């Protein structure tokens, strides 16, 4: 891959990540129902696959997408760990605990080759998302407990974008498996969690927690659809149809109330 391609990929990642933090922060401060969902929708994942298909072909993107569900399951574990720790700890401790949980959860994908095949990767990803949903703390009683004003976005958004850009470039240097891991790396989730935790409080995270899981399920739908479509259609069509399938899935779950904890009163 040329130096120009690296710069384009880094630039796209920076812009997408920065914009996504702003969108999720604004959505999160207005709606607990949609804030977590939007924060966990595939952003780096989706645009990483789009760029790989654009520069290396549909086969390369399809190969990268195959193990992604397991990586998204690891992101669910990391999210659950942060939300649980946030109720008792500060931002730094919650982030460290979440990062350790992610490292343990991503371990099978790195060391067990069979877990990278689509069927085992989907099974592992679904299992981790379900476990994470069960272990999440109960949300507060009403949306009123998560109202607040998100501050410092002009600093937080570019920092997030710069981190993602650096990660994407590293993935390009280290190869396909690194690309899969980085594409599912929960940097956007972590940034959103820290923003919500700092400015809206731990109650906001608990209220949005199941939304995070729904967004990650949407990411799995995107990964599976794109794995097939990048091989059989044009790059842009594959991306758009896959993202439409993702959005349709999460919207249906939210409208049916499947993201809400039964303890919500």
pLDDT band at 221 (very low <50, low <70, confident <90, very high): very high
Residue 175, φ and ψ in degrees, nearest 5:
110, -175
Provide the CA 127 distance to its chain's centre, in angstroms: 16
The more confident residue out of 61 and 115 is 61
Is residue 47 classed as helix, strand or coil in its secondary structure? Answer: helix
Find, among 121, 99, 93, the residue nearest to 108 by Cα: 121
Structure confidence by residue, pLDDT tens digits, 20-60: 767 766 765 566 567 677 777 877 788 778 877 877 778 88
Dmax (CA) for the chain in angstroms is 55
What average pLDDT does the segment 86-112 reach?
Answer: 87
pLDDT band at 264 (very low <50, low <70, confident <90, very high): very low
| pLDDT of 166 strictly over 70 | no
| pLDDT of 265 strictly over 50 | no
Q: Are 65 and 226 in contact (CB under 8 A)?
A: yes
**Predicted TM-score (pTM) of this structure:** 0.80
pLDDT the model gives residue 199: 74
Winning range, highest mean pLDDT, from 129-138, 158-167, 182-191: 129-138
48 to 42, 45, 101: CA distances (angstroms) = 10, 5, 24
User: What would the 3-class secondary structure string for 124-170 be?
Assistant: HHHHHHHHHHHHCCCCCCCHHHHCCCCCCHHHHHHHHHHHHHHHHHH
Structure confidence by residue, pLDDT tens digits, 174-189: 666 666 777 777 877 7
Domain boundaries, the chain: 3-256
Token pair 């949300």: residue = 139
What average pLDDT does the segment 137-155 reach?
Answer: 57
Can you tell me the distance from the alpha carbon of 179 to that of 87, in angstroms, rounded to the nearest whole number?
33
pLDDT band at 104 (very low <50, low <70, confident <90, very high): very high
What average pLDDT does the segment 223-230 reach?
Answer: 92
The more confident residue out of 126 and 178 is 126
Q: Are 118 and 237 in contact (CB under 8 A)?
A: no
Tokens of residue 89, six digits? 């700890």
pLDDT the model gives residue 171: 57
Q: What is the mean pLDDT of the chain?
A: 78
pLDDT band at 152 (very low <50, low <70, confident <90, very high): low
pLDDT the model gives residue 144: 45
């Amino acid at each position: 891959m040329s130096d120009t391609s690296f710069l384009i990929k880094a630039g796209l990642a920076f812009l997408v990540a920065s914009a996504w933090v702003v969108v999720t922060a604004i959505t999160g401060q207005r709606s607990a129902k949609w804030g977590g969902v939007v924060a966990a929708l595939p952003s780096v994942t989706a645009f990483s696959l789009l760029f790989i298909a654009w520069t290396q072909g549909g086969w390369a993107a399809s190969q990268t997408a195959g193990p992604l569900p397991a990586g998204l399951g690891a992101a669910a574990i990391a999210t659950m760990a942060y939300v649980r720790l946030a109720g008792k700890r500060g931002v730094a401790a919650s982030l460290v605990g979440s990062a350790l949980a992610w490292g343990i959860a991503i371990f099978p994908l790195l060391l067990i080759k069979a877990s990278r095949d689509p069927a085992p990767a989907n099974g592992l990803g679904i299992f981790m998302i379900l476990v994470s949903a069960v272990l999440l703390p109960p949300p507060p009683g009403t949306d009123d407990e998560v109202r607040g004003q998100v501050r410092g976005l002009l600093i937080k958004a570019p920092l997030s974008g710069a981190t993602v850009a650096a990660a994407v470039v590293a993935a390009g240097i280290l190869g396909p498996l690194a690309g899969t891991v980085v594409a599912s790396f929960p940097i956007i989730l972590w940034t959103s969690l820290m923003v919500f935790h700092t400015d809206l409080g731990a109650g906001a995270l608990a209220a949005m927690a199941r939304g995070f899981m729904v967004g990650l399920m949407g990411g799995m739908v995107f990964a599976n659809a794109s794995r097939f479509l990048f091989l059989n259609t044009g790059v842009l069509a594959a991306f758009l149809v896959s993202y439409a399938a993702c959005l349709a899935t999460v919207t249906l779950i939210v409208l049916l109330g499947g993201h809400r904890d039964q303890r919500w009163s």
